[in-house]
Amino acid sequence: MNFMILGLIIVGFTVLYLVYRNAMQPPALPGPMDEPERPIRPSAPNPLLAALGRTRELFAGLFDRGRGEREALEGLEEALLRVDVGAKTAAALVEEIKGAPDLKVALRGALKARLAKLDSRLQITGAKPHVILIVGVNGSGKTTSIGKLAGRLKAQGKTVILGAGDTFRAGAIEQLKVWGERAAVEVIAQQEGSDPAAVAHQTVESAKARGIDVVLCDTAGRLQAQKALMDELGKVRRVIGKIVPDAPHEVLLVLDATMGQNALSQARIFKDVAGVTGVVLTKLDGTAKGGVVIAIAEEFGLPVKLVGVGEKIEDLRDFDPNGFVDALLPD
């Protein structure tokens, strides 16, 4: 009898202990089988994919299996010419990838290697203000790009002032003011016809006095008076440099991608005189001449830093060299 009671007590305690242990145990970690199905997060879409649509089209079908290498290489060279990579570079690229087991992979690699040589990031230094001068021919998209860049910098929490340095074209000052309103940044302007260097001076002085982060200075783009324009740009540069040492920190040449190879002659003219540090390639949307990015890098050693992909304030993209090549030659 005593044994039975003792047995019951032991069983009772064992049950109580097991219940207690179970309650105190941390919840079991889900094993591989229990893991709830997690949706695979799609990586961010390549921002250049849409803009390069028409350029990419020219490569369609060129990498299809079944084509002989010679035929494939001929097709590729022609496509590279048509997207305005430039004749010399197109020939060099084809020569480089000849004999590769996978031509697309090889071409991607060759293009990326060319673009990787240049620093395509738009960096805002600690200088106050960091001064960016925007140059380029008429209608290339200078004022629009300034507006877009101002909007972008503002969204990043930076303070920005625009200088209405195109005092030549009627309506140019008004156009910059409209962009200033859109981006919610101040515009420093004088009368039409006034000295652009005086406007640049006033803008940079004002930005310096108020601790503004970035100055974006517009310029006139008349190319017909080349010598005068270059003298003017030189004067603007000198004036800015007297107020902030090392300024302008960046001189962005705005080129219209639809001009293709013609944009290169503009780069040639501006590069040395204006001390260009990088390119804003506009109107990449709607052109098949996106290959000009490669030509600009090859012929002038100039990096494309920003690309315009439309007319709206948000239509400005950082230029990511690898993203550009992947958008041109996707899997």
Ligand X SMILES: Nc1nc2c(ncn2[C@@H]2O[C@H](COP(=O)(O)OP(=O)(O)OP(=O)(O)O)[C@@H](O)[C@H]2O)c(=O)[nH]1
Task: Tell me which residues touch Mg ion (CB under 5 A).
Answer: 142-143
Instruction: Give me the least distance between CB of 164 and ligand X, in Å please.
Output: 11
Nearest residue to the partner Mg ion, using Cβ: 143
Site string for ligand X, 53-72 (x = CB under 6 A): --------------------
Site string for ligand X, 285-304 (x = CB under 6 A): xx------------------
Instruction: Give me the least distance between CB of 161 and ligand X, in Å please.
Output: 18
Which tokens sit at 61?
């079908």
Cβ nearer to ligand X, comparing 108 with 289: 289
- The partner in contact with residue 61, picked from Mg ion, ligand X, none with C-beta cut-offs of 5 to 8 angstroms by kind, is none
Q: Are strands 278-282 and 214-217 parallel, antiparallel or unpaired?
A: unpaired
Q: How far apart are CA 216 and CA 203, in angstroms?
A: 9
The single residue among 75, 86, 129, 141 that binds ligand X, judged by CB under 6 A, is 141
- Binding region for ligand X (CB under 6 A) out of 81-89, 164-172, 229-237, 298-306: 164-172
Nearest Cα to Cα of residue 101 among 69, 76, 78: 69
Cβ nearer to ligand X, comparing 105 with 223: 223
- The partner in contact with residue 140, picked from ligand X, Mg ion, none with C-beta cut-offs of 5 to 8 angstroms by kind, is ligand X
The single residue among 165, 248, 310, 321 that binds ligand X, judged by CB under 6 A, is 310
Cβ nearer to ligand X, comparing 89 with 282: 282
